[in-house]
């Protein structure tokens, strides 16, 4: 068994879906597993000329790879079936390839109503927090006990361990390191674990780890209640150039310069082997090249100078790729 992990190193919305989609194209994986989060995620993929957004379903389904919603996730049945329908209408045989681990917990309408009252944190109001709370309070509902989901339920241990076939897994994360419930800016965090380590709570031994694909952007974005975006008008230009509006909520994302200290920390804690930095073209379009290091804003004369500085300040063992392509690395 081998396992690769795709993990977001900032605050989500960095292109994990794009990277997962790209990695699946070579047909190397037998399974793609979503390992955290729920319908609060929004992974945008450009596939065969179509723009698709998935909230629950892993991107491997686009390539005929068995795609499993793992027990580290929470799933809302209505949203799940809406995604199945959308994918099927796009010509993708989702029912054939999508599964849900039997011990994955379910978001209920009561969870949605409760989460909808939040104003302090600025959540997506998709019921994740209350569902995770009930899971740990030992009063949640698992997928194996929901009748309408039975067609999709699978025992993940049997699927991955009781087989004579070689198992090659790509873990697809949700949200980002800056939102992790332990490592993020608490309490302005999500309700799940967003790190590489959390992928291995989904029935896979840590010794199987091969590569960790860390995903970031050339700047940062955040959706939530805390003040994140400075007052400079340049950040409105970045939002427009980068089309920075939430794939799940539609809310405008707050923008700021890349925090290189956060990127270093996230890269080290997650054990990143390959770093993909997306949306390089956005800074080219606005004509400003800056980042934050040790709480100081550094200015660069051009894009190449900024790229070199980033590479010099990331672990030498990490391979860094800069991308402007919406569909590929």
Confidence of residue 50 (pLDDT cuts 50, 70, 90): confident
Position 39 scores a pLDDT of: 81
**51: confidence class by pLDDT, cuts 50, 70, 90:** confident
Query: In the chain, where are the structural domains located?
Result: 2-322
**Percent with pLDDT over 70 in the chain:** 97
Of the residues 4, 8, 22, 43, which is catalytic? 43
3-state secondary structure of 152: coil
13 is catalytic: yes
4, 8, 13, 115: the active-site residue: 13
Does the structure show a pLDDT above 80 at 84?
yes
β-strand pairing of 296-299 with 290-293? antiparallel
pTM, rounded to two decimals: 0.93
- The pLDDT of residue 121 is 60
Residue 82 confidence (pLDDT): 93
**Strand ranges across the sheet with 2-8:** 153-154, 98-101, 66-69, 31-34, 168-172, 2-8, 209-217, 274-278, 319-322
Residue with tokens 């198992």: 167
299 noted as active-site residue: no
Query: What is the distance between the alpha carbons of residues 4 and 66, in angstroms, rounded to a whole number?
Result: 15
2-322 CATH: 3.40.440.10
The rounded distance, in Å, linking the Cα atoms of 8 and 199 is: 12
pLDDT per residue over 196-231, tens digit each?
A: 999 999 999 999 999 999 999 999 999 888 889 999
* More confident call, 166 vs 248: 166
Backbone angles phi, psi at 257, to 5 degrees: -70, 155
Tokens of 310: 């980033």
Q: Chain-wide mean pLDDT for the chain?
A: 92
For 139-185, write each residue's pLDDT tens digit. Answer: 999 999 999 999 999 999 999 999 999 999 999 999 999 999 999 99
pLDDT at site 124:
67
Per DSSP, what are the bridge partners of residue 45? 52
The predicted structure's pLDDT at residue 173 = 96
Is the confidence at residue 122, as pLDDT, over 60?
no
- Helical spans, DSSP H, in the chain: 16-24, 77-89, 94-97, 109-115, 128-136, 156-161, 196-199, 234-242, 260-270, 280-286, 303-312
Q: Which pLDDT does position 71 carry in this prediction?
A: 97
Does residue 27 carry a pLDDT above 80?
no
Burial of 182 (0-12, 13-18, 19+ CB in 10 A): exposed
Residue 24: phi and psi, rounded to 5, are -75, -20
Question: What single DSSP character describes residue 289?
Answer: -
* Mean pLDDT, residues 2-30: 93
Does 187 sit behind a cis peptide bond, omega within 30 degrees of 0 on the bond before it? yes
Given a cut of 90, is residue 126 above it in pLDDT? no
Q: Which residue has the tokens 């605050």?
A: 11
């Amino acid at each position: 068994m081998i396992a690769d992990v795709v993990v977001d190193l900032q605050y989500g919305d960095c292109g994990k879906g794009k990277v997962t989609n790209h990695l699946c194209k070579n047909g190397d994986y037998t399974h793609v597993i979503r390992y955290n989060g729920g319908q609060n995620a929004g992974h945008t993929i450009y596939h065969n000329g179509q723009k698709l957004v998935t909230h629950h379903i892993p991107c491997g389904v686009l390539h005929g790879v068995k795609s499993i919603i793992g027990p580290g996730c929470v799933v809302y049945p209505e949203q799940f079936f809406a995604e199945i329908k959308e994918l099927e209408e796009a010509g993708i045989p989702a029912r054939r390839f999508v599964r849900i681990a039997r011990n994955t917990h379910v978001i209920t309408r009561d969870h949605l109503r409760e989460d909808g009252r939040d104003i302090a944190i600025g959540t997506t109001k998709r019921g994740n927090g209350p569902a995770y709370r009930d899971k740990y309070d030992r009063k949640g509902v698992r997928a194996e006990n929901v009748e309408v989901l039975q067609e999709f339920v699978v025992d993940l241990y049997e699927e991955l361990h009781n087989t004579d076939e070689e198992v090659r897994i790509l873990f697809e994360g949700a949200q980002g390191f800056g939102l992790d419930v332990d490592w993020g800016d608490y309490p302005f965090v999500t309700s799940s674990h967003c790190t590489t380590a959390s992928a291995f709570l989904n029935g896979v031994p840590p010794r199987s780890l091969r590569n960790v694909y860390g995903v970031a952007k050339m700047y940062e974005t955040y959706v939530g209640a805390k003040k994140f975006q400075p007052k400079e008008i340049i950040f409105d230009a970045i939002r427009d150039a980068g089309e920075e509006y939430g794939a799940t909520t539609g809310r405008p994302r707050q923008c700021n310069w890349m925090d290189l200290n956060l990127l270093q920390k996230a890269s080290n804690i997650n054990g990143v082997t390959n770093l993909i930095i997306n949306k390089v073209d956005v800074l080219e379009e606005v004509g400003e090249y800056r980042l934050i290091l040790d709480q100081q804003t550094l200015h660069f004369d051009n894009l190449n100078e900024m790229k070199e500085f980033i590479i010099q300040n990331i672990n030498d063992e990490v391979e860094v790729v800069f991308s402007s392509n919406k569909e590929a690395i």
